[in-house]
Structure 1
Amino acid sequence: MTTTTTDTRAAAITLTEAELDLYVTHAPTRGLLTGPGLPDDSGLLTFAPLRTAGLRTLADVTDGPARLAGELRDRLVIGELLGPSGAGTESILLDGGTGEITTARRFAPTGCRPLAPSLETLLRFAAVTEELAGLRGRFASFAGRHGTKAATEASRRLLTLFEEGTDGEVPPYWKAAALIRPLALVAGPGTALGLTLDLPGRLLDEEFGPGRVARFEEVDFPAALTHEPTRRFLCETGLPEDAILFRLDTDVPLQTLTEYFRDERLGEYPLEDLPAHADRLIRLGHLAEENSLVVDGTTGAVLNFSEPEAALYLLNTDVSTLAYTLWLLHHERTIDAHLGHELTTDAYDQLATTMIQTLTSIDPTPTTSDADWHYWTELFQDEAGGVL
């Protein structure tokens, strides 16, 4: 294997004709691999395994063909799809005879899923998706634009670009990217309330329905809630009363975590296990699996308190990114239902990765938190639980 370099990009991964002779007969693929080569990695995928290990069949990687279906044995491992943390999530496979690109689970692969009809198309799809993420190239006109109209327009443009290379049959991974990733454009950077995001007016009402978004009054707030941007958001924008994974406390005025366990759960949970600053943590509602959603009354940070672990974990940067997360979860379900649940049926794990990447682009909490565990990340990835 050889590499080539230029002054404007990192080393490209190339292979010699001799290296390809054993594996690749598809002429356009051979031309790409011996000519311009492949980038080391991008935000979505990496070809680093090809650089470090050369061409290998999936049978070689998984310790022999006996464990694999016949269609998988001779597929060539050329890279990996990347998750939000930068770790590989699936192997990228090349059919040396047809040039088709598929993916398979990295551990105990039992089947493959389409990713692109060719290596050239795969590189183009990754490039345009990154143009969307950076609002450059074919998506430069979206810089500074926000709202549902901008997101819908960007989604249509990205889907059209994908359809050009697939005869209209867009693989699930890229369909999820086209339908979910542009949703990061819905909310703009926070200016009005001093929070991370400015949500479009009535966004939550339109998504969850009239009368299903609760807005608070000053009398509802405990004295410990001194963070003014949080108070204004809860009064002016509000939160959905009943969302996926979350139920808002609306029966009584908001309580501190100490007050909640002392008054509502007396005898059910030892007060000595509460965090030392529980008197400044305001409980907004209930999360699944015995978790309370709380906001730090001083800083506005949103956390989840795990009762079984008696531990606090950072959940969202603030209430604006919390509201966006709840909206994103609900809207994803609406999209998937419109598609006949195609995404959750055919590519749940790929959809989960796309959801986490989209959320992270708005609120980097899942990747910047010191904790190894993050509530939304874990629940998104819970295919058995069917959260998405």
Structure 2
Amino acid sequence: MKRTVLVVWTAVLMTLVLSGCWSRKELNELAVSIGLGIDRTEHGYRVTTQIVAPRQAASGASGANGPPALVMATEESTVMEALRKLTTKLPRKIYLSHLSILLIDESIAREGVLDSLDFLFRDHEVRPNFNVVIVRNGTAHDALSILTPLEQMPARDMFDSLNESEKVWAPTAAVRLLDLMKWFNTEGQQAVLTGLKMVGDIEKGMSKDNISVLDSPAKFEYSGIGVMKDDVLLGWLNESDSKAYNYVTGKVKSTVGKVECPNQKGEFVMELINSRTKIIPGLKEGGPSATVEVSIEGNIAEVECKLDLNDRKVLKEVGELAGRKTRELIEHGIREVQTRYASDIFGFGQKFHHKYPKQWRVWKEDWDRMFSRMEVEVVVKYEVKGRGRIVNPIQKGILE
């Protein structure tokens, strides 16, 4: 009898604890947003959302049923109000848990992004793992309205392209909302955001003409990393300086670069296959200094001159030339950020904060100036690991 009573009471207590899916939402009640855009207007913000078409979500295929995604926009004085106001055009609430990308126009970035992002930082339904990008020309609304030929969901195409270009090309940075949250609450490192440009006939890009021909009339492309101070965009780095940023911060996974051939005309191309970066903070004459050590392993990917790649001395020289070119690229990128922007996007301040906490407490209020004048030494160690399927370049007549 006692055992029966115990089992009953245990079951009762479990029903109190296991409340089930109290926050469950049915798919047919939601408009699933995969892309979000925020533009500055005279009256506040224009919020654009790219949502998965309900028929697409139900059937898993597009075609005669209509486009795979829909773009809706509205305007209000705050982002939250604009999102809720979209229900006047849609019979469903916007669901943001599956966002892939957020686009903000450059005017918002120039005045500061915190106000426009505050709702996304706070909302419990938002997962902060989506990418944030600045639209450099045009509006976020136009960018989200361009149809893309490779992916059915244009926002997903933008997300995949950004992350892939960071992995294999390097002059872009796939920054998530979570990364921004950490940077804004961290001493000694400023934020960055990648820029997106629209190229071609934007009006045609919003129609089916953009996906019905081999060469689409309108395209998007990622271009440059934006340097920020606090939450304000200061300006843009060019392609090589953007790559330098990724070298210093240890984010280069793979890339390629050309180098002039030794003692002759022509160039050879190196493919980076592995890279490691170490920032060593130091003190010099009572002030901050730093050494950036970069270790690189690369393969010879292309040769446009006569090199005897069987000769170890030649391979060593090739590695030295590639290392020198990489060192010069990194040095120029650091110097450009120091002199033009005086914003520590590399995180040197963080290194001093951890290693020299007493000095950092004195320096941090004047860190922008100290960073701009700080001496930074770059050391690159470049090792050639492979030469490709052939060793030496094929010369005319050698196979005759």
Structure with larger Rg: 2
| More strand as a share of residues | 2
Q: Which has the higher contact order (CA 8 A, sep 6+)?
A: 2
Q: Normalized against structure 1, the TM-score is what?
A: 0.26
Kindly indicate which of the two structures has a greater share of residues assigned to helix. 1
